[in-house]
Chain A
Amino acid sequence: MEQTNGNVSNGAHGETNAFLRQLFEMMLTEGIEKGLSRDSKVVEFKHPKDLEKIMNLKIDGEGASDQDLLDVCSDVIKYSVKAGHPHFFNQLFGGIDQYSLGGSWLTDCMNTSQYTYEVAPVFTLMEKVVLTKMLELIGFNDGDAIFTPGGSMANMYAINVARFQRYPEVKQVGMAGVPKLCLLTSDKGHYSFKKGASFLGIGMDNVIPVKTNDGGKMIPVELETKILELKEQGLEPYFVNATAGTTVLGVFDPLDEIADICKKYGLWMHVDAAWGGSVLLSQKHKHMMKGIERADSMTWNPHKMMGPPLQCAAFLTRHKDLLKDCHCANARYLFQQDKFYDVSYDTGDKAIQCGRKVDALKLWMMWKAKGDSGFERDVDKLIELSRYLTNQMRNREGFRVVAEPECTNVCFWYIPPSLRGQEETSEWWQKVAKVAPVIKQRMTEQGTMLIGYQPDGDRVNFFRMIVSNMSAEIEDMTFVVNEIERLGKDL
């Protein structure tokens, strides 16, 4: 049984490197060169039970040979969805970049935890540089920030930190010692606020939705009305989340007006910019985040529009020491005060986590390589491609755009010829609702493209196409329209 043993260097350098080299070749040719080519499938779909049978996952008493492993890796590539493929439009992330990929690999080679300068000297400084840059772009010039395992966690940090700021004793006494708190977010806000409220002991019922307009944006007057209503009911609203780039429609809540209201009533203003925050990189489009510098905190997921591989998300706040005060536990075995370097560089006690994966390197490397101008160009391009696509759809029979895009979400219905020119009754809409799932099934089975669909409020199932792949081109936009038509015209 051919196997390379021990760690990478074990006297048998040649053999160990051989496996890595072979897999590397395979990743490049199968996973990247072929996998991301427009001629290949985005997904080779199998139902779960079938996939369980195909994948040789079984682990035996003895280790598998290098060849067996390479064969399975080949299957892993084959049956995985190619999120870097130019026709993958399903989620708020996509695309792949060689610098962040290299940075992510290097992170693994250095295999360490982010909690102290002692074990992560370079990464401690690097995280500081990247987060400082992000804070400056926002306008939180003397603030603080940390990388979190995802946007949901960042949102939860906001809920927690805001609660602590208002009632510092809550760290010791818990919710029993504070009035009944509630938080507000738009009815299009991300569901992590509900999960977060439940997790943090506030309760999902105390996440109060604020009405949005037809375009999906929070209505400031409704926000103010709700706040007053809640106070009258004896509740204590303490936190407002504004969304910068909603999940489905990709629109931006009016931050300035929301900031006015929060200021008036003394509420913490958080902006969930997990998706839309990256527009701050563009001189041309950052106006969509106008007012952000007035917020108390923000969530920003670079692993969405900026492109590094998951995970890469950040919680940022204007308040300098709050993270540390809120979360610290001063564990003596890790954060010894008698270390021989300045221990204020140990960031671990700012987090809820103890061990924490290094997420800064892949973002730093990508940013260093591209420069600010590179990111600006890319964000501009993504936004412009989405406008181009919207325009195409406006001029093409059978396509109906749901709303004007602000971020790069292009939402639309496809209305097959058989349903055109009819009266738009509720039965008609029910028929339209069935179109997207069928087209999705076909596109998945044929593997040509992946676009998500969902209902939203009163609207029946529509497609939500996301442009977030930095290597997307105009031809890919045209492809979307043609392909949907090809898949759905006989419905």
Chain B
Amino acid sequence: MQRLAFVSFLRGLNLKKIESSKEPPWFRYLHHKKQQMADGYSFDDPKVIKFLEDAHKLMVEEALVKGSSKGAKIVDFVQPHLLENKLDLTITEQPEADDKILDACKKIIKYSIKTSNNRFYNQLYGGVDHYGLAGSFLTDVLNSNLHTYEVSPVFVTVENFMCQKLCKIIGYENGDGIFGPGGSFMNILGIHLARFRACPNIKEEGLYGQKKMILYTSDAAHYSLQKGASFLGFGTSSIEKVKTDDMGCMIPEELDKKIEESKSKGHLPLFVMATSGTTVFGAYDPLDKIADVCQRHGVWSHTDACWGGGALLTKKYREPRMTGVERMDSVSWNLHKMSGALLQCSSLLVKDKDILIKCNGTCAEYLFQPDKIYDVSYDVGDKTIQCGRKVDTLKLWLMWKARGDSGISERVERAFDNASYLTERLRTTEGFRLVRDKFQCTNICFWYIPPSLRGQSESPEWWQKLSKVGPAVKAKMVTEGTMMIGYTPLSAKGLVNFFRIIVGNPLTTHEEMDFVLEEIHRLGKDL
């Protein structure tokens, strides 16, 4: 191969000869280099294009067409230390030929989870929309960085467009938004904005000598608040967890109590994070009432709609779940969950148009020069904490343009409809027990009670036995690769391991929901 020949050429260079020349050493052999250099790089080279074509064909066929087809094995599970041997991951000194790379791709596909398949019910994301996929491919080909209009004119335009659209859907008349690398990050950014509004000088001075600031959220909320509190310098001791009701919704009166308590201690109530669609139960906190409490006390209100925000896209499910959302100061919303964009696709939408830039702007002069030839307010990079930033909005926009508002809405409505059907089946089928009578979102939680445990007294020992069913069924499920459903305990409500199925993939049907029950029964009946 030419590349190898070049490397040995370099090594064989007689440097003494070169030093005696007047020209700098590197200059002389750069000329030689030019003849042998370009192999395998230039897109004029048909081999390069062929590799891309072969790779593209392979991944669409194997990962998507086959992977998402009904009844396909969605996981080929191998224990970690054994998988290390099956995959030849080592990188060596020498290059690897294209056909070996394509073989590696095949193995990668084989041993990865086929999340495009609707029987992947394990996480809050799933499914692959081909328009979104196309948008993501195009993003990579154009490989740009979202900090300035200068290098990303189209992408800045698209991001601005999408932020405005999302603000409009929420009901912010004059809001702003930004995309970022995940919901946790967007929640944490929300806290940072609240802190800036309360005490702008913290930007320069830090938290030293400040009153203790308190962050409130429900006991069912996502753990990003915890991670954020430490990261931002508040410490986890500044979190107050508010009681939730039986369904997992924050109780506004309890929030009010907590805030009063903080005030009486001389602390500063800073930030309330409501959740629209909790991670386990899918509960929606009552935003209107929470907004009332926040308004009364002058506290920043944020809702973590990373998961449940999809309800905003439908007429049918928006109210009462998201009633009052337009009153919140900020909303985090992961479009890569219910709405079907590819990871990552997270947004933070803010009611106050100016706060992002005021809080985060530092005007680095090598990047945000004020004397550019275009309106520099389009350099959106200074609105966030990141410098370089991946373009995540093209894939979202292309998918949405392709599906139209009605298509995006239908996707969410289908998910709710399937979840509702599943709930009824679980309620009325022997051996299955819903953890709660109804769920507000499309995460449905249930126990499977194998025949051996049925009709017994539900003592603590019995519950202990039941807690082992989830992991055992899961292990079998994954080993056979027919389906993937997660399980979790919920100690805040005193609940042992139960299944949590997430219904969201548009390929799901009522028949597929029937299959879930049949399959769990098949896997678990002998336990």
Question: In whole angstroms, how far apart are the Cα atoms of A20 and B11 in the complex?
Answer: 45
21 A–B pairs (Cβ distance < 8 Å), ordered by A: A8-B60, A16-B130, A19-B130, A51-B157, A57-B397, A83-B144, A105-B137, A111-B343, A175-B233, A198-B360, A201-B202, A201-B233, A301-B388, A354-B183, A354-B224, A369-B101, A371-B93, A374-B95, A381-B33, A450-B151, A454-B366
Give the total number of A-B pairs whose CB atoms are below 8 A apart. Answer: 534
* Distance between Cα atoms of A446 and B397 in the complex (Å): 29
Instruction: Please report the total number of A residues contacting B with Cβ < 8 Å.
Output: 175
Distance in Å from the Cβ of B130 to the closest Cβ of chain A?
5
From A438, which residue of chain B is reached at the shortest CB distance? Answer: B373
Given contacts A122-B87, A156-B385, A437-B373, 16 further A-B contacts (CB under 8 A): A20-B130, A61-B405, A104-B140, A110-B115, A122-B112, A149-B344, A153-B385, A175-B206, A176-B212, A199-B231, A204-B203, A205-B205, A326-B230, A340-B474, A355-B183, A381-B33
| CB neighbours of A84 from chain B (8 A) | 143
- Stretch from A123-131, A212-220, A252-260, A479-487 forming part of the interface with B: A123-131
Q: Choose among B52, B113, B123 the residue that contacts A28 (Cβ–Cβ < 8 A).
A: B52
Q: Contact between A339 and B343 (Cβ–Cβ < 8 Å)?
A: no
Inter-chain CA distance A339–B486, complex, in Å, is 11
Residues of A within 8 A of B401 (CB): 57, 59, 63-64, 69, 72
Chain A 326-355, CB-CB to B under 8 Å as 1, else 0, gives: 110101111010111110010000001111
Mark A360-399 against chain B: 1 for CB-CB distance below 8 A, else 0: 0100110111111110010001001101100100000000
A109 touches B59 (CB 8 A): yes
Q: Within the assembled complex, what's the spacing in Å between the Cα atoms of A371 and B94?
A: 5
A197 at the B interface (CB under 8 A): yes
Contacts of A456 in B (CB 8 A): 365-366
Which of B286-294, B458-466, B500-508 is the interface stretch?
B500-508
Task: Name which of A43, A108, A248, A336 has the most chain B CB atoms within 10 A of its CB.
Answer: A108
Residue from B92, B202, B203 having most chain A Cβ neighbours under 10 A: B203
Does A371 lie within 8 Å of B96, measured CB to CB?
A: yes
Which segment, of B234-242, B245-253, B349-357, faces chain A? B234-242
Is A320 an interface residue, CB under 8 A from the partner?
Answer: no
Interface size of B in residues (CB-CB distance below 8 Å)? 181
Q: Out of A80, A112, A326, name the residue touching B343 (CB < 8 Å).
A: A112
Query: Are A101 and B140 within 8 A (Cβ)?
Result: yes
Q: What's the Cα separation between A310 and B226 when bound, in Å?
A: 28
- Contact indicator B128/A7 (Cβ below 8 Å): yes
Within 8 A of A (CB), among B29-87: 30-31, 33-34, 37-38, 41-44, 48-49, 51-53, 55-56, 59-60, 63-66, 68-69, 77-81, 83-84, 87
Question: Complex Cα distance A13/B67, Å?
Answer: 13
Q: Which of A24, A371, A377 contacts B56 (CB 8 A)?
A: A24
CB distance from B112 to the nearest CB of A (A): 5
**Residue of A at shortest CB range from B49?**
A28
Q: A370 — which chain B residues lie within 8 A by C-beta?
A: 95
Contacts A198-B203, A474-B34 hold; do A151 and B142 have CB atoms under 8 A apart? no
Measured CA separation A371–B40 after assembly (Å): 13
Check A48 against B138 for contact (C-beta < 8 Å): no
Contact among B55, B161, B343, B362 for A195, CB-based, below 8 A? B362
B49 touches A57 (CB 8 A): no
On chain A, the residues within 8 Å of B157 by CB distance are 48, 51-52, 55, 57
Q: How far is the CA of A76 from the CA of B7 in the complex (A)?
A: 39
User: Given A327-B227, A368-B91, are A152 and B366 neighbors across the interface (CB < 8 Å)?
Assistant: no
Does A118 make an interface contact (CB < 8 A)?
yes
Contacting pair A108 B342 (CB below 8 A): yes
Contact B112 A112 (CB under 8 A): yes
Interface string of A46-63 (1 = CB under 8 A from B): 111101100101011111
B10 at the interface (CB under 8 A from A): yes
A190 within 8 A of B: yes
Stretch at the interface among B102-110, B254-262, B424-432: B102-110
List 8 A-B pairs, minimum CB-CB distance, nearest first.
A201-B233, A203-B206, A174-B235, A149-B181, A63-B404, A102-B55, A333-B488, A8-B64
* Given A61-B404, A76-B138, A152-B387: A32 in contact with B43 (beta carbons within 8 A): yes
Q: Which of B7, B125, B206, B406 lies in contact with A205, CB distance below 8 A?
A: B206
B60:A109 contact, CB within 8 angstroms: yes
Decide: A120 near B112, CB < 8 A? Known: A357-B343, A364-B89: yes
Chain A residue at minimal CB-CB distance from B54: A102
Q: Name the CB-closest residue of A to B7.
A: A373
Q: Please state if B400 and A200 are interface contacts (CB–CB under 8 Å).
A: no
Q: Is the CB of A331 within 8 A of B223?
A: yes
For chain B, residues 461 to 498, give those with C-beta under 8 angstroms from any C-beta of chain A.
471, 474-475, 478, 484, 486-491, 497
A82 cross-chain contacts in B, Cβ below 8 A:
142
Give chain A interface residues in 95-116, CB to chain B under 8 Å: 96-99, 101-102, 104-106, 108-113
Q: Are B30 and A109 in contact (CB under 8 A)?
A: no
Contacts of A32 in B (CB 8 A): 43, 49, 141
User: What mask results when residues 327 to 345 of chain B are scored 1 for a CB within 8 Å of chain A, else 0?
Assistant: 0000000101000001110
Whether A329 pairs with B223 at a CB distance below 8 angstroms is yes
- B297 at interface (Cβ–Cβ under 8 A)? no
**Contact in complex: B387, A192 (CB < 8 Å):** yes
CA gap between A431 and B405 in the complex, in Å: 53
**A419 at interface, CB cutoff 8 A:** no
B210 beta carbon closer than 8 Å to chain A: yes
Interface centre among A126, A175, A326 (most CB of B within 10 A): A175
Are B59 and A80 in contact, CB atoms less than 8 angstroms apart? no
Interface-located stretch among B184-192, B434-442, B513-521: B184-192
**Shortest distance from the beta carbon of B283 to any chain A beta carbon, whole Å:** 14
A98-B192 in contact given A48-B153, A120-B113, A369-B95 (Cβ < 8 Å): no
Q: How far is the CB of B33 from chain A (nearest CB, A)?
A: 7
Cα(A427)–Cα(B21), bound, Å: 43
- State the CA gap A110–B66 with chains docked (Å): 12
B504 to chain A, nearest CB (A): 12
A340 pairs with B475, CB closer than 8 A: yes
Q: Quick check: B181 and A353 within 8 Å, CB to CB?
A: yes
In the complex, the answer to whether B84 meets A125 with C-beta atoms within 8 Å is: yes
Cross-chain contact A23 with B138 (CB below 8 angstroms): yes
What's the minimum C-beta distance from A319 to chain B, rounded to whole angstroms? 17
Which residues 348-396 of B have a CB within 8 angstroms of A?
Answer: 360, 362, 364-367, 369, 371-375, 378, 385-391, 394
**Whole-angstrom distance between the alpha carbons of A372 and B96 in the complex?**
11
A91 at the interface (CB under 8 A from B): yes
CB distance from B410 to the nearest CB of A (A): 10
Question: Quick one: closest A residue to B360, CB to CB?
Answer: A195
- Whether A402 sits at the interface, judged by CB under 8 Å, is no
Q: B421 near A: Cβ within 8 Å?
A: no
B150 at the interface (CB under 8 A from A): yes
Interface pair A80/B27, CB less than 8 Å apart:
no
Complex Cα distance A196/B228, Å?
A: 13
Q: Which of chain B's residues has its CB closest to A169's CB?
A: B235
Contacts of A36 in B (CB 8 A): 43
- The CA of A237 and the CA of B283, in the complex, are separated in Å by 45
Interface presence of B207 (CB below 8 A)? yes
Q: Is the CB of B208 within 8 A of A19?
A: no
Chain B 126-144 per-residue mask, 1 if CB under 8 angstroms from chain A, else 0: 1111110110111111111
CA distance A63 to B172 in the complex (A): 25
Task: Determine the chain A residues whose CB is within 8 A of the CB of B390 once the complex forms.
Answer: 149-150, 310-311
- A141 interface hit (Cβ, 8 Å): no
B115/A112 in contact, CB under 8 A: yes
Contacts of A372 in B (CB 8 A): 91-93
Question: How many angstroms between the C-alpha atoms of A176 and B398 in the bound complex?
Answer: 47
In the assembled complex, which residues on chain B have CB atoms less than 8 Å from the CB atom of A10? 507
Pick the residue among B149, B471, B505 that contacts A338 (CB under 8 A): B471
Q: Which residue of A lies closest to B48 (CB)?
A: A98
CB of B375 to closest CB in A, whole Å: 6
Q: Is A417 in contact with chain B by the CB < 8 A criterion?
A: no
Residues in A neighbouring B342, C-beta threshold 8 A: 108, 111
A364–B371 alpha-carbon span in the complex (Å) = 40
A125 with B386: in contact, given A7-B130, A120-B112, A333-B500 (CB under 8 Å)?
Answer: no
Q: Which residue of A lies closest to B375 (CB)?
A: A48
